[in-house]
Amino acid sequence: MKFEETQTYTNLASSMAAECMDGAKYQWFADMAQQEGDACLAETLKQIATNEMAHAKVFMDFILEKEAEPAKDVDISLSYPLVGGKMPQRLQAHIESELHQGEVVYPAFARTASKEGFEDIAKAFLRVAEVEQAHHAKLKTLQQKMQNKQLYKTEQKSLWKCSNCGYSHSDVKAWEECPLCGKPQGFVVLKIEQSAY
Ligand SMILES: [Fe+2]
Ligand SMILES: [Fe+2]
């Protein structure tokens, strides 16, 4: 059977398209968060957008690698959550869609790939599923923190950094106004990993 006649081929194509849409969506959301003055949220959304585009590339690479002949076009149907409103609510449908991808869609695609004899593709679907579950958890935490006005507070001391001037300081909450450049709290990002440099 030709690769393009398998269900895995169609699943890779629809996953690639869905990941591209997700990448664009999170990039727009990052811009919105930036405009609304939340650098912390914008930073996370930008990272997620980068992840989604990388997932699209993984799926596209499999299509190109497995195919002997030029790819045929695939008709795909995708539902897309179009939710307006302010930022914490706006994220809701997308938080659910991350969970659906991570717990339902990609594990099912992995099982199909396995059945059709594509173990490498099955593993990739499962690894991407793990990332989508992590996206779900991260976005849900951020949404709850925004709703409870806790976005700039942590239980343990954290390293906060001004995305404008680079000033950083460890505390259980971020400053209201950067002590170095004076930019408001919205410019603060949480520095999770401390660089060795
Ligand atoms: Fe993804
Ligand atoms: Fe995701």
| DSSP codes joined into one string, 125-176 | HHHHHHHHHHHHHHHHHHHHHHHTT-TTEEEEEEEEEETTT--EEEEEE--S
Sequence-distant contacts of 124-129: CB under 8 A, at least 24 apart: 124/58, 124/59, 124/62, 125/11, 125/15, 128/15, 128/55, 128/58, 129/101, 129/102, 129/103
Which of 46, 27, 16 minimizes the C-alpha distance to 106? 16
For residue 51, how far is its CA from the centre of ligand 2 (angstroms)? 7
Beta bridge partners of 190: 160
Percent helix, percent strand, percent coil in the chain, to nearest 5: 60, 10, 30
What is the model's pLDDT at position 191? 67
Give residue 22 CA to ligand 2 midpoint distance, Å.
7
Whether the predicted pLDDT of 11 surpasses 90: yes
Quote the ligand 1 centre to 128 CA distance (angstroms). Answer: 6
Q: What is the pLDDT confidence band of residue 128, given thresholds at 50, 70 and 90? A: very high
**CATH class of domain segment(s) 153-191:** mainly beta
Q: Which three-class secondary structure state does DSSP give residue 188?
A: strand
Residue 193: count other Cβ atoms within 10 Å of its Cβ.
Answer: 6
- In the chain, CATH 1.20.1260.10 sits at 3-147
Burial class (CB in 10 A: 0-12, 13-18, 19+), 18: buried
Residue 193: per-residue pLDDT: 47
Distance from the alpha carbon of residue 103 to the mean position of ligand 2, in angstroms: 12
More confident of the two residues 122 and 187: 122
How far is Cα 105 from Cα 40, in angstroms, rounded to an integer? 29
pLDDT of 13 over the 90 cut? yes
Q: Which CATH architecture has domain 3-147?
A: Up-down Bundle (1.20)
Alpha carbon of 52 to ligand 1 centroid (Å): 4
Parts of the chain belonging to CATH 2.20.28.10: 153-191
Check residue 169 and give left, alpha or beta (phi > 0: left; psi -120 to 50: alpha). beta
- Count CB neighbours of 53 within 10 A: 16
- Going from the Cα of 143 to the center of ligand 2, the distance in angstroms, rounded, reads 15
Of the listed ranges 27-41, 72-86, 137-151, the one predicted with least confidence: 72-86
- Tell me the average pLDDT of the chain: 88
Nearest listed ligand to the Cα of residue 52: 1
Residue 70 · residue 78 · CB < 8 Å: no
Instruction: Compute, in angstroms, the gap from residue 108 CA to the centroid of ligand 1.
Output: 15
